[in-house]
Structure 1
Amino acid sequence: MRRIVLWTAGAAAFAAAALSAVIAWPVGSAPGPIGLQGNAQRGAYLARASGCIVCHSNFDEGGAPLAGGAPLQTDFGTFYPPNLTTEPDHGIGDWTAESFAKAVRQGVAPDGDPYYPSFPYPFYAEFSDQQMADLWAAFQTVAPVAESAPDHDVGFPFDQRWGLKLWRAAFFYDPKTDPVPGRSEAWNRGRELVRGAAHCGACHTPRNLAGGRDLGAVFAGNPALPGEGKAPSIRPGALAEGGWTVSSLSYALKSGLTPSGDAFGGSMAEVVREGTRFLSDADRDAMATYLLEGEDGGRERLAQRGPVAASATGQPE
């Protein structure tokens, strides 16, 4: 009996020590100085491509741009994107360019707390210092709004932010936006946007019970979006089966209209309205090119194999 008591006490002490270590474990790394001159116009373009406006603006309730977003309802609770205006007490007006870069690329707040993955920071991890300088310059032009977004409504145990450190260790993947030798300039630009700034995989990739993306099913669709929405597969096979072409997909990203004459609804309509319609024709064409060809040139192989193969395959990445 004494041995059991001692073993139990030892196990409890070990668990307490391990928990203390996780809580004290710092996340992220100190960013280097962002000393480059930023271009606000380029930064505003990147902010549109990255979905900053659509997520951090509650236009349906008459909110100001970037003053805090509409609630995002998930199985883990309801998240409220924060105020990103230049207001120092309620927004990011007292941040530095370096703390901003750490938040965007690493998902770590200035106080060292990790952000919830409702903020798609993993997709921004490969933004360059110049892109961060441009974004920072653009955000400095946003009018201050002296109102905080509501606190996240997240119950136990998901309200314990130290647990996000373990989540990051398991599910913080690099976006793989770097150019691939031998592929076209348009394809590589599309890859950079789709896998990075536009973070298409955040919605169009299924997630596991812990909220991590299933990397074996990238772009295969997600039947369980926040708010009970759904996102279809945007793999080459599924797009080909749906009759999409580079031209029609590019036009849909500009207009919100599909080849059948239908219109995007739900969150995709917002993505177009506040994001992709502001992109250049060349960038929308590039996104369409990458999605229809895929990582391994799947579009060409599907064309050679015929329409039956196109409809039967999910085009694994």
Structure 2
Amino acid sequence: MALNWTRVLTAGVVLAGLGGGLAYALTRPSAHPAQYWTGLGTPDLANGETLFWAGGCASCHAAKDAEGEGLKVLSGGRALPTPFGTFHVPNISPDQKAGIGAWTLAQFGDAMTRGVGVDGEHLYPSFPYGSYARLTAKDVNDLFGYLKSLPANSNVAAAHELGFPFNIRLSLGGWKLLYFTDQPRVELANASAQVKRGQYLVEGPGHCGECHTPRNVLGGFQSGMWLAGGPNPEGEGRIPDITPGSQTIGAWSADEIVAYLETGFTPDYDSVGGSMVEVQKNMTHLPKSDLEAIAAYLKAVPAR
């Protein structure tokens, strides 16, 4: 019996359409339900400022040589070179046109915790929403309120410079399917309240793993290598292992880690260097109890 090629082709088109529809359903941008961002009340600006420093907002979004109050002018514009192309950091000041002044809490929150832009598009994980996904709705509300209290700036950042296929945002849905999660990076049985607070700060707003965890060729974290160090994502040198198994920080006491974050000096009186300089400056704004919690968590994670 001869094949009915019309039926075969029709069936192929239908199957391809179904496959494409299923793929899109699995990888489309997924925001929180609208009610997730309701009823949060007046933002706690003091907590919002703590999150601002813990999250290192100024390190990327302020001008490169900003100091003092200039760190609170989040005009964007820095270039972040990566193996996938150059990303240009956006303006997140309260400017109504160039920044986030016209955004709603839901738009800000979904960008922060789901990697979904204001137009419903996937955001690139050069913005560390893979870490910020662990922020509570209250903390997002507090941070958003604090950011809106800062100076507006009209700078418009350049567009990202990405070649094919990295310039296709739709492909980010597949990346998220493989690597995006809001679950703990490590399971810590019987952890104390202090260690849990440190875990929240390190895995969430502090996004320490974004630099201190090695990545595979697709830019996802290598399994089982949390905080084990790796190549500098900006291209020069290496980022150290900060687990208890390292030959440097791993040998420090919790008190020595706290002192390093407070002062920028190691136990042998060397000083902080590289991109960690800005991170350490941010850490000085956190209460000592949070620094102690970070140290307790770093002593509790698995050694690598």
Shorter-normalised TM range? 0.7 to 0.9
Aligned match of 1:173 = 181
Q: SS in structure 2 opposite 1:111?
A: coil
How far apart are the structure 2 equivalents of 1:215 and 1:179? 14
How far apart are the structure 2 equivalents of 1:170 and 1:199? 19
Q: How does 1:144-159 map to 2 (within 5 A)?
A: 144-159=152-167
User: Within the alignment, does 1:42 sit opposite 2:47 as a pair?
Assistant: yes
Aligned match of 2:62 = 57
Deviations 1:113-161 (A, max 9, x none): 1110111112121222211221111011021111111111111110000
How far apart are the structure 1 equivalents of 2:234 and 2:138? 33
Q: SS in structure 1 opposite 2:251?
A: coil
Question: CA-atom RMSD, angstroms?
Answer: 2.9
Judge conservation of contact 1:30–1:102 (CA < 8 Å) in 2: no
Aligned match of 1:293 = 300
How far apart are the structure 2 equivalents of 1:20 and 1:182? 43
Q: How does 1:76-225 map to 2 (within 5 A)?
A: 76-176=84-184, 182-225=190-233
Q: SS in structure 1 opposite 2:81?
A: strand
Please state how far the C-alpha of 1:17 moved relative to its aligned partner. Answer: 7.2
Which structure shows the bigger proportion of residues in helix conformation?
1
Please state how far the C-alpha of 1:265 moved relative to its aligned partner. Answer: 1.6
Judge conservation of contact 2:80–2:86 (CA < 8 Å) in 1: yes
Please state how far the C-alpha of 1:178 moved relative to its aligned partner. Answer: 10
Judge conservation of contact 2:179–2:220 (CA < 8 Å) in 1: yes
Aligned match of 1:308 = none
Please state how far the C-alpha of 1:18 moved relative to its aligned partner. Answer: 5.0
Which blocks of at least 5 consecutive residues in structure 2 are unaligned? none
Please state how far the C-alpha of 1:97 moved relative to its aligned partner. Answer: 0.9
Please state how far the C-alpha of 1:93 moved relative to its aligned partner. Answer: 0.9
Q: State the identity as a percent.
A: 35
Aligned match of 2:83 = 75
| Structure 1 range deviating more: 228-237 or 12-21 | 12-21
Judge conservation of contact 2:198–2:295 (CA < 8 Å) in 1: yes
Give the letter aligned to residue 27 of structure 1. S
How far apart are the structure 2 equivalents of 1:286 and 1:241? 16
Judge conservation of contact 1:72–1:227 (CA < 8 Å) in 2: no
Judge conservation of contact 1:27–1:165 (CA < 8 Å) in 2: no
Which blocks of at least 5 consecutive residues in structure 1 are unaligned? 296-314
Change (3 A) 1:137 1:271: same
Q: SS in structure 2 opposite 1:225?
A: coil
| Structure 1 range deviating more: 115-124 or 14-23 | 14-23
Give the TM-score taking structure 1 as reference length.
0.83
Judge conservation of contact 2:55–2:207 (CA < 8 Å) in 1: yes
How far apart are the structure 2 equivalents of 1:178 and 1:241? 19
Aligned match of 1:28 = 31
Change (3 A) 1:155 1:261: same
